[in-house]
Structure 1
Amino acid sequence: MKGFFSRIKLNTIHAKLLGTYLMLTAFGTSLLAGYILWSFADYFMRMRQVDLDNWTGALSESVADALTEKDINRVQLLVKRYGAPQNVTLRVFTQEGKLIATSDPKLDSQVKDWDRVPGMRVALQNRVDQGIAKGVLSNQDRLYIARPIERNGQFLGVLRMSMTLEQFQRQFARVFWSVLGTLGITILLCAFISSRFARSLAKPIEIMQHFAIRLGGGHFGDKLTIHENNELDQLAAELNRMSERLASLDQERRVFLANVSHELRTPISNVQVTVDALKGGAYEEPELRDRFFLTIDSEIKRLARLIHDLLDLGRLEAGVTKLEQQIIPLGGLINRAVNAIEPRMQTARISLEVKVENLPIEADPERLLQAILNLLDNAIKHSPPNSQVLISGYSKGKQAIIQIQDQGKGIKENDLPRIFEQFYTTDPSRKSSGNGLGLAITKRIIAAHQGSITASSIPNQGATFTIYLPLKG
C-alpha cells in the first residue's frame, strides 16, 4: 500500500511538471501563432487599402477630366475598363449622389438609396472614407474606399471602389490551418520532449524517495548515486552523509546497549549468586555471611553508580541539563576539587602539586567540578604509590588551560583516540572499579561549556589531560 501511494505521488510530480511545461508551451506557441496570423491579416489589409487609395487617386484624376468636359461616355468607359464585377466594383456618382457609371450595372440597378451605402455620406461631404463593410446587396465582406472627385477646388462627384475579400479569406484560411497544424505538431513535439524532461527530473526524486524509505526502515549505510550536476547532486550528497551518520549512530547504539547489558548483568549476577549462597546455608556462618553482605553492598553501590552515570550522560547528550553559569575564579574551583579528593590521595600515598592562576571563567561550578574530579579520580586509579599528580592552570590568548598530569604507566597509543568513548576502558578484563563513563561524561561537560579536552601520554611516564575553556572578559 505504501508503494502504491508512493507511485501516485511520483506520478503526480511527473504529471504536474509535464502539465506545467505543456501549458507554457501551448501558451507561448499560441501567442506566437496568434501574433503571426494577426500580423499577416493586418499587413494584407493595409496593403489593400494602400492599393485602393492609389488606384482611386489615379482614377479620380481621369474621371475629373471627363466630368469637367461633361463626357459621360468616357467616364463609363473608364469604369468598365478598371472595374471587374467578380472582384472589384467601381462606381462614379454626381455631387448629388446620383449614380452615373458602374462596373456592375445589373447589381446596382437594384439599389434604391445610395446614401445608405457605407462611405457615401462621408464622401458627399467632400471627405475620404474607407474601411470594411458588407457588399451592397450581399453578405460578403468587402474592402471599400469612397473618394470625392475634385478639380480646381470644385466638388464634381464621388468615386467609390470596393474589393471582395473572399480570395483573401480563402488564402487566410489556408494559412490559418497551416499555422494551426504546425502549432499542433509543435505542441506534440514539445509534449514528447517535456515528458522526457519531466521524467528525468522525477526519476532522481523517485530514487531519493526509495532511498529515504529504506533509511526509515533501518537500512543505514546505503549509498545513493545521482549524476545530475545540479541541486539534486547536493541533496544526494546530504542524504549519503545522513545515511553514514545514521549508520554510525546505529552502531554506537548497538555497542552502547551491549555495554550497558554487560555492565548491568555483572553486578546483578554477582548479587544473585551471593543471595543464592546465603539461601543455601552460608547465612549460618557469620564470617562468610558478613563477607557476602559486603559483596552485595559493593555490587549494589556499583550498580547505583552505573545507573547514575548513565542518567547523567543521557541528560548531557540530550541537552536536557541546563548549566547554571556564573563567573568564578579558577583557583577557587581547583581548591574545592583538591579538598574533596585529598583524603583518597593520602590513602593511596599520592602527593599533589597545584600551580593554578586565579583566572576568571564563566561556568557551572558544580558541573565543572564534577569533570575535574573525574579526571583526578582517573589519575589516582592509574598512579603508583609515592608518585605525584600535578594540576596547573594558566591562560593562553583568550583561553584558560587546565592540565592534570600523573606519573602512572600512561595510555597506550592505540587507546588514546578512544578513551573518551562510552564504556571504553584500557583494562580489557574490566577488573578495575571504573565503568568507562567518567571520561565520556567529562568530555560532554567541557563541550557544554564551549570548551574542549585532549589527552596525551608518554609510556611509563604518565598521562596528561588538558582542558581548554574560554576566558571571561
Structure 2
Amino acid sequence: MRTEQDLDAGLKSPSKRVLNWLPTRMRWNSIYRKLFITYLALTALGTSFLAAYILWSFHGYFMRSRQADINTWANALSESVAEALAEDDLARATVTVQRYGQSEAVTLRIFNPQGRLLATSAPDQDRQVLNWLEVPGIAAALQKRATQGVAKGVLSNDDRLYSTVPIIRNGEFLGVLRMSITLEQFQRQFRNVALTVLGTLALTVVLCALISEWLARNMARPIQAMRNFAIQIGSGHLGEELSIQQADELGQLATELNRMSKRLASLDKERRAFLASVSHELRTPVSNVLVTVEALKSGASEEPELRDRFIQTVEDETKRLARLIHDLLDLGRLEAGVAPLEQQPVNLRDLVNRAVRAVESRMQSKGIGIQMDVANMQSQGDPERLLQAFMNILDNAIKHSIPDTQVFVVGRSQNGEAIVTIRDQGPGISEAALPHIFEQFYTADPSRQGSGTGLGLAIARRIVEAHQGTITAISPPGKGATFRIKLPCTNPAALAKANGVAE
C-alpha cells in the first residue's frame, strides 16, 4: 500500500524520472501555489475591506458627532450673544466670546449684519483678514442661512470644523456667529487608530497566511499524491494502492483510482495470460503441421497409407488453426464492442431448436440423447449471435457427456427474464475450476478438456452479456454441469402462465 509520502518519493529514482521532482512549495505552477495565493488573496482582500470600512465608519461617526456638538454650541451661544446685541451691550458679547473661545482649539467670531467683525477670540490673527466674505460660511450666514462643514483655517492650512449661524432675536437680524474647532487632535487620534487597525490587519494577514499555507498544503498533498499515482499507473506500475483516508470527494477519487489500478492490473494479467495461451495454442498446430510436412518431404509421401494419415493430420491441424483464429477474432470483436448486434425480436424456443438440430448428428454419433422443454419466450437481440452462444454451451455439454446419457434443455420465464438451463450428465466441474471456466483457454480441469479451442464458453459469456444477460454454471459433485442463461424477456405478460425454473 502506497502512502502519500511514498508516492512523492517513488518516482525520484533515475529509472522513474517522469517529472523534475521539486518540493511542492518550490513548484510555482503547482496547485499548492494556486490554492495558497487564492486563500491569501481572499483573506487579504476581505480583511482590507473590513479595515477600510471600520476606519471610514469611525471617521464618519466622529465627524458627525463633532459637527452636531459644534452646531449645538453655536446655537446656544448665538442666543446668549443675541441678547447682548439687542441691548447694544457689545462688551458683554465680547466677554462671552473670550470666555468660550480658545485661540487655537476653538475660535468664536461675531459679525454685524454688514459682515464687519465685532468680536473675536483670536484678535491678533483676525486683524490680518481684509475680506471676511471670503471665509467659508460668512456670506451664506449674512443671507440668514446656517452653514457647516470642514474648511481650512482663516490664516492657516490646518483643517477645522465650523458652524456659522445667523443671530436673530424677535425676528430682527442682529448679525452672524461663526464657531470653528481644530481637527488636529482628532486627526492625530485617527492616525493612531489607523495605525492600530493596520497593524492588526497585518497581523491578521500573517496569521491567515499561515492558516492558508496549512489549508493549501493539506489540500494539495492528496492531489499531488494522486497525480504521482496516476503517473505511476501511466508508466505501467499497476496494482499499487493509494492510501488517502478522507471522507470527501478527494477520498472518493482516491478510492476510484485504487479500483482503477486494481482493474488495470487484473486486465494486464489477463492480457499476459491471454497472449501466453494464444502463443501456446497457435504453436501446437503449427508445430504439428511443420513436423508432418518435414516427414512428407523426408520420404513418407512414398507410402500411400502413411501419406494419407499425414495429409489428414495437416488438414485437421489447419482446421483447428482456422477455428482458433475465427474464435479469437469473434472474441476480440465482442470484447472491443465493435461486433454489431442486430436488434430484433427473437423467439428463444425456435432458437434453441435450431441449436439442437445443428448439433444433433454429433450427439447421435456419441450416443447422447437430449430432452427439451422450452416455453414460448420472446427476447430482443441478434439471433445469430445468440444461436452461437447456445451452440457453444451445447457443444461443451456434448464433449463432456458420458455415452448413453442425456442432455436436458429447459426454458422458462420468471420475473421478466427468459431462463434457459442446459444440464449434462458428465463428470462435472471441480470446485477449484468452476470460477475460471469462462476464461479464455482455461483447461486446468482434465475432466473438462476437449478438442476445441478453449474459447467457446468465453465467447458465449461475451454474447450473453452484450444482450444485457448473465450466464452462470453450477456443478454438484458427480452430477454433471448445469449452465443457466438469463436474458431480458420482452413479453412477460404473455408468458405469465409459465412457472418454475429448471434447476
SS in 2 for 1:432: coil
Q: Write out aligned runs for 1:350-389 (5 A).
A: 350-389=368-407
Residue 267 (str. 1) matches residue 285 (str. 2): yes
Q: What 5-or-longer segments of structure 2 have no aligned partner?
A: 1-16, 492-503
Q: Write out aligned runs for 1:197-212 (5 A).
A: 197-212=215-230
Length-normalised TM-score, structure 2 = 0.90
Residue 128 (str. 1) matches residue 146 (str. 2): yes
Distance between the aligned counterparts of 2:311 and 2:389, measured in 1?
32
Matched with 1:257 is 275
Distance between the aligned counterparts of 1:353 and 1:379, measured in 2?
13
Aligned equivalent of 1:459, options 477, 486, 502 = 477
SS in 1 for 2:332: helix
Aligned equivalent of 1:45, options 63, 66, 71 = 63
Residue 4 (str. 1) matches residue 20 (str. 2): yes
Report the AA paired with residue 68 of structure 1.
Answer: A
Report the AA paired with residue 466 of structure 1.
Answer: R
Aligned equivalent of 1:85, options 92, 98, 103 = 103
Report the AA paired with residue 251 of structure 1.
Answer: K
Matched with 2:248 is 230
Matched with 2:8 is none
Q: What 5-or-longer segments of structure 1 have no aligned partner?
A: none
Residue 297 (str. 1) matches residue 301 (str. 2): no
1:5 deviation in Å?
8.0
1:50 deviation in Å?
1.9
Matched with 1:335 is 353
CA displacement, residues 69-106 of structure 1 (integer Å, 9 cap, x when unaligned):
21111111111121111111110111221111011112
Distance between the aligned counterparts of 2:274 and 2:391, measured in 1?
24
Report the AA paired with residue 446 of structure 1.
Answer: V
CA displacement, residues 306-358 of structure 1 (integer Å, 9 cap, x when unaligned):
11111101111111111112213223212212221111112112122222222
Contact 2:428–2:479 (CA<8 Å) still a contact in 1? yes
Residue 159 (str. 1) matches residue 177 (str. 2): yes
Shifted more, 420-429 versus 226-235: the winner is 420-429
CA displacement, residues 240-284 of structure 1 (integer Å, 9 cap, x when unaligned):
111111111111111111111111111111112222222222222
Matched with 1:145 is 163
Distance between the aligned counterparts of 2:80 and 2:445, measured in 1?
126
Contact 2:429–2:448 (CA<8 Å) still a contact in 1? no
Matched with 1:192 is 210
Matched with 2:488 is 470
Shifted more, 330-339 versus 208-217: the winner is 330-339
Aligned equivalent of 2:415, options 397, 401, 408 = 397
Report the AA paired with residue 377 of structure 1.
Answer: D
Superposed CA RMSD in Å reads 1.9
Matched with 2:7 is none
Distance between the aligned counterparts of 1:454 and 1:15, measured in 2?
54
Contact 2:429–2:445 (CA<8 Å) still a contact in 1? no
Residue 29 (str. 1) matches residue 42 (str. 2): no
CA displacement, residues 367-419 of structure 1 (integer Å, 9 cap, x when unaligned):
11111111111111111222222222222231222122222222222222211
Matched with 1:66 is 84
Contact 2:32–2:220 (CA<8 Å) still a contact in 1? yes
1:143 deviation in Å?
0.6
Matched with 2:495 is none
Report the AA paired with residue 87 of structure 2.
Answer: E
Residue 117 (str. 1) matches residue 135 (str. 2): yes
Contact 1:64–1:156 (CA<8 Å) still a contact in 2? yes
Shifted more, 136-145 versus 304-313: the winner is 136-145
Structure 1 pair 188–160 and aligned structure 2 pair: CA distance change class (3 A): same
Matched with 1:441 is 459
Distance between the aligned counterparts of 2:218 and 2:325, measured in 1?
54
User: How many aligned residue pairs are there?
Assistant: 473
Residue 348 (str. 1) matches residue 378 (str. 2): no
Q: Report the identity percentage.
A: 61
1:64 deviation in Å?
1.5
Report the AA paired with residue 165 of structure 2.
Answer: R
Distance between the aligned counterparts of 1:188 and 1:11, measured in 2?
23
Contact 1:10–1:202 (CA<8 Å) still a contact in 2? no
Distance between the aligned counterparts of 1:456 and 1:281, measured in 2?
52
Contact 1:455–1:466 (CA<8 Å) still a contact in 2? yes
Matched with 1:99 is 117
1:59 deviation in Å?
1.5
Matched with 1:288 is 306
Report the AA paired with residue 196 of structure 1.
Answer: W
1:39 deviation in Å?
1.5
1:359 deviation in Å?
2.1
1:427 deviation in Å?
4.2
Shifted more, 384-393 versus 1-10: the winner is 1-10
1:431 deviation in Å?
6.3
